[in-house]
Amino acid sequence: MPDTFLPLSTTDINRERRSALLASAGAALLALSPAVGRANETNSATSSGSAASVSWNSVDPDANDDNLIVPIYDEPRHHVIMENGVMRVMRVMIPPGHATLWHAQNLDFVNTIIGGSHNIIARKGEGPGEPVEMKTGSVRYGDYQRSPIVDRVSNVGTTLNHQIAFEITDLARRNYGNADRSHATNFSVILDKPHVRGWRLKLQPGETTPVYRQDGPGIRVVLSGARLIDRRPGELGQQISLRPGDALFTTPGLIAVTNAAEEPLEIMEYELR
């Protein structure tokens, strides 16, 4: 089980994006999508004898074009904020009364709900959609590499829909380890899937976890708290100031986390396995 991972270059990341789109969702997208937008590119496809093209730069996030489909990382309300070659992280912000564009998803996908809302989620070609309440602090998972989808989320509530979401772009599935933190009782399992495991960690002011082992690359999402110390044996502790909704990549190793603020800390920790 490797203790480190090597981030891919920008060229590798772009190649992985294109490979995923072609390998995992090609047939579905060709059947469903007359137009697929790509950042800073213009593509076109034909449906019912007419052609449609889209430039991501000029896409209106409130465009009411039922023929327009974009990759999720180019959807205007899915803001890509971090990438490291194994995960692509997005901050999703959907105001009340607004909706996303139709967007294609074809990689395993995890989203943490920072601010919940009432929504209608529709899948392309499957009717008007179903009401779904995304509750603050909840976690959603989509096995979209196995079963790609094209969907649209409409916020029909009165509060901002705010999510931290990530796709697993590590298509090689490197089998980092079992992601076991069962001995660290501060962690409670919230997600248990073949390629990713997630925990909720709650710490009172000054409280510290036992030392635990992280085998694969991961991500930490903050629900509440102001400061933590990430300490690794033999190294100085790393003090990190936090705000709710922050997201930070984490790396393999032996780790202990301390709540270094005077208020409770609640975070989600995800690790690839």
User: Six-digit token pair at 119?
Assistant: 């929504």
Which CATH homologous superfamily contains domain 187-272? Jelly Rolls (2.60.120.10)
Averaged over 34-49, what is the pLDDT?
Answer: 33
User: Six-digit token pair at 90?
Assistant: 């997005």
pLDDT attached to residue 34: 36
pTM > 0.85: yes or no: no
What's the Cα-to-Cα distance from 101 to each of 109, 121, 137, 195, 200, rounded to whole Å?
Answer: 17, 11, 24, 28, 31
Q: What are phi and psi of 11, to 5 degrees?
A: -65, -40
Contact 254, 215 (CB under 8 A): no
DSSP 3-state of 59: coil
pLDDT attached to residue 59: 57
Of 60-64, 155-159, 225-229, 242-246, minimum mean pLDDT range: 60-64
**What is the 8-class DSSP label of residue 73?**
G
Reply yes or no on whether the pLDDT at 9 is more than 70: no
Buried b (16+ CB within 10 A) or exposed e, 155-193: bbbeeebbbbbbbbbbeeebebbebebeebebbeebbee
Reply yes or no on whether the pLDDT at 164 is more than 80: yes
Separation of first and last alpha carbons in the chain: 10
Q: What are phi and psi of 203, to 5 degrees?
A: -135, 135
Contact 73, 88 (CB under 8 A): yes
Specify the DSSP element, H or E, that contains 271. strand 265-272
The domains spanning 10-168 and 187-272 adopt the same CATH topology? yes
How confident is residue 66, by pLDDT bands cut at 50, 70 and 90?
Answer: confident
Length of the chain: 273
In whole angstroms, give the CA distance from residue 223 to residue 249. Answer: 15
In whole angstroms, give the CA distance from residue 203 to residue 87. Answer: 26
Averaged over 234-262, what is the pLDDT?
Answer: 97
Residue 107: exposed, middle, or buried by beta-carbon count in 10 A (0-12, 13-18, 19+)? Answer: buried
Q: Does domain 10-168 have CATH number 2.60.120.10?
A: yes
Helix, strand, coil distribution of the chain in percent, nearest 5: 10, 50, 40
Share of the chain above pLDDT 70, in %: 78
Alpha carbon 71 to chain centroid, angstroms: 14
In whole angstroms, give the CA distance from residue 221 to residue 229. Answer: 15
**Domain parsing of the chain, residue ranges:** 10-168, 187-272
pLDDT attached to residue 250: 97
In whole angstroms, give the CA distance from residue 67 to residue 90. Answer: 24
What is the residue-averaged pLDDT of the chain? 83
Reply yes or no on whether the pLDDT at 185 is more than 50: yes
